[in-house]
Chain A
Amino acid sequence: LAKTTQPISMDSYEGQEVNITCSHNNIATNDYITWYQQFPSQGPRFIIQGYKTKVTNEVASLFIPADRKSSTLSLPRVSLSDTAVYYCLVERPGNAGNMLTFGGGTRLMVKP
């Protein structure tokens, strides 16, 4: 599966929009992109998933350009409770051979 690269850390302030970009240059045709959020002392949890263009849910938006070699997670108007580590993951449909390996993630710190 495609290796992912994302910034190690980011700082923001309450009320701002935060955009975290992940690069996955070797993404395959059938792969899709998933983002997870992890708070201290908890397991990661699903935020959003997409294949191309734009996906939006109640938590975030995910922008994927036409070449799909990168993706951007957008968190609108962050609050202190959005302080967490965010992971980008490339996943392949089906489970056989689908080793879901997490990269280092992006540690987001939201300040008052």
Chain B
Amino acid sequence: DAGVIQSPRHEVTEMGQEVTLRCKPISGHNSLFWYRQTMMRGLELLIYFNNNVPIDDSGMPEDRFSAKMPNASFSTLKIQPSEPRDSAVYFCASRPDSGSLYFGPGTRLTVT
């Protein structure tokens, strides 16, 4: 298996633009997590899905953030409109029923 796949790896955009981050979890993993990491706040859990259903999105910072998982092999995290304070590395991770988290390589987002 190729592991968790994220795209793009780097994204630079201007304030106010829409940003969409993509994730393909490991096949057979039924949970998917979106994390954000910055120097100031560390690794923050934004939202997680179980069997494609959002279970808890209490970590999503505000309404500008939304996440979807239309099927077991794909998820998106969208920011609209983006702001400079959204600049961070966004990680997607998947997990089987009993096992550990597997993280993707991350998307480094820079909003200017």
A: residues with CB less than 8 A from B are 34, 36, 41-46, 49, 87, 91, 93-105
Contacts and interface: CB of A to CB of B under 8 A. Distances in A.
Nearest to B100: A46
Interface stretch (B11-19, B70-78, B80-88, B103-111): B103-111
Contacts, number: 57
B50 to A, nearest CB: 5
Given A43-B91, A99-B45, A104-B42, A94 B97 contact: yes
6 contacts: A44-B101, A45-B103, A95-B50, A99-B56, A100-B95, A102-B42
Given A42-B106, A97-B55, A49 B100 contact: yes
A89 to B, nearest CB: 8
Given A43-B93, A102-B45, A96 B50 contact: yes
Given A43-B103, A45-B103, A95-B95, A102 B30 contact: no
Given A97-B56, A99-B56, 19 more contacts: A36-B101, A43-B91, A43-B103, A44-B43, A44-B103, A49-B100, A94-B97, A94-B98, A95-B30, A95-B95, A95-B97, A96-B50, A98-B31, A100-B33, A100-B45, A101-B45, A102-B42, A103-B42, A104-B42
Interface in B8-57: 30-31, 33, 35, 42-43, 45, 48, 50, 55-56
A42 B103 CA distance: 9
A41 B97 CA distance: 27
Nearest to A48: B100
A41 B10 CA distance: 12
A102 B56 contact: no
A44 B101 CA distance: 9
Contacts of B103: 42-45
